Structure 1
Amino acid sequence: MNLDVIAANGGETLWVVADRIRFLGGLPGSNLELLDIEVPAGSGTPPHTHASSEMFYILEGELTVHNFSADGAPQVVLAGPRTAVRIPPMAPHNYSNDSGKPVRMLVLIEKSMIAFFRDIGTVEPQAEPDFAGIGAAMQRHGIEPITMAA
């Protein structure tokens, strides 16, 4: 059996809104895959939930991760280099890059979420996100947006 090697600049790359995602693959017999994600300053995700657990491992920069409790109060984590953040299934959460500098992280995630990223990803960065298309894809892939009370 041969090793499967993805070179430093290899692997499929897609843009999900402003984030650059490089697909690194998974382990045979596992439901998990590894992503290399670059999050530019000002980028992030809206609050949401999904059945897949996730693990973020920050390589460069500082990522702000929010976990929202039942009363809507967020737990805020500033995750810098060599910090790992585990998000359990169905935990209301989001992330943002508020640092003013790029963030690079490895993300371990279930194949169901990989399908979502492939569904909405584009080969080139998007000038304007297709929010209607992203919302439809979220429904198809079981990702629920969370509306935060004002």
Structure 2
Amino acid sequence: MKFDVTTSESGETLWVVADRIRFLGGIAGSGLELIEVEIPPGSGTPPHAHASPEMFYVTEGEVTVRRFAADGPPDVTVAGPRTAIHIGSMTPHNYSNDSGRTARMLVLLESSMIAFFRDIGTSEPQSQPDFARIGSAMQRHGIETLTIAA
């Protein structure tokens, strides 16, 4: 029996707006999969929540992760290399790269989120998000976009 091996040359890659996602595989029967996310400066996600818990592990650069509460300011963590952040199911959050250089993180998540990324991913980075297409996919995959008061 051979090992399943994914290298930087062999892993499937898709772009979710400006972020490059490389699919690294999963553990059979667990429903868990691992991806690598490359986040250019200024990129990130809007505030959102979903059923799948996640774990971020920053391997390069800095990633700012926010957890939003019903009232009050967000809990903000600036995570550097070798930092793991656990995000629970339906926890309102987002991430961004507020630094001036590319950041990378490994993300462990459920297969349902992998299906979402495959649904919205493109073969090239997008300079302008297709909000209608992404919003429709978010509805199909049970991802809530949050409106955060300033």
TM-score by length of 1: 0.97
Q: Superposition pairs for residues 57-72 of structure 1, below 5 Å?
A: 57-72=57-72
Q: Superposition pairs for residues 48-127 of structure 1, below 5 Å?
A: 48-127=48-127
- Comparing 104-113 and 69-78, the one that deviates more: 69-78
Residue 100 of structure 1 deviates from its aligned partner by: 1.1
Rounded to whole Å, the distance in 1 between the matches of 2:119 and 2:50 is 16
Rounded to whole Å, the distance in 1 between the matches of 2:115 and 2:92 is 20
Amino acid at match of 1:73: P
Amino acid at match of 1:106: L
Q: Tell me the residue number matched to 1:143.
A: 143
- The alignment-based identity, stated in percent, is 70
Rounded to whole Å, the distance in 1 between the matches of 2:106 and 2:71 is 30
- Comparing 126-135 and 81-90, the one that deviates more: 126-135
Q: Tell me the residue number matched to 1:13.
A: 13
Residue 72 of structure 1 deviates from its aligned partner by: 4.4
The question of 1:36 aligning with 2:36 is answered yes
- CA offset digits 1:88-108 (Å, max 9, x no partner): 000000001001110011000
Q: Tell me the residue number matched to 1:134.
A: 134
Residue 8 of structure 1 deviates from its aligned partner by: 2.6
- Comparing 95-104 and 70-79, the one that deviates more: 70-79
Q: Is the 8 A contact 1:72 1:149 kept in 2?
A: no
Rounded to whole Å, the distance in 2 between the matches of 1:7 and 1:144 is 33
Q: Is the 8 A contact 1:52 1:110 kept in 2?
A: yes
Q: Is the 8 A contact 1:72 1:148 kept in 2?
A: no
Amino acid at match of 2:146: I
Any unmatched runs of 5+ in structure 1?
A: none
Rounded to whole Å, the distance in 1 between the matches of 2:114 and 2:73 is 29
Amino acid at match of 1:63: V
- CA offset digits 1:26-80 (Å, max 9, x no partner): 0111111000110000000000000000000000000000001121420000000
Rounded to whole Å, the distance in 2 between the matches of 1:9 and 1:105 is 18
Residue 111 of structure 1 deviates from its aligned partner by: 0.3
Q: Is the 8 A contact 1:42 1:98 kept in 2?
A: yes
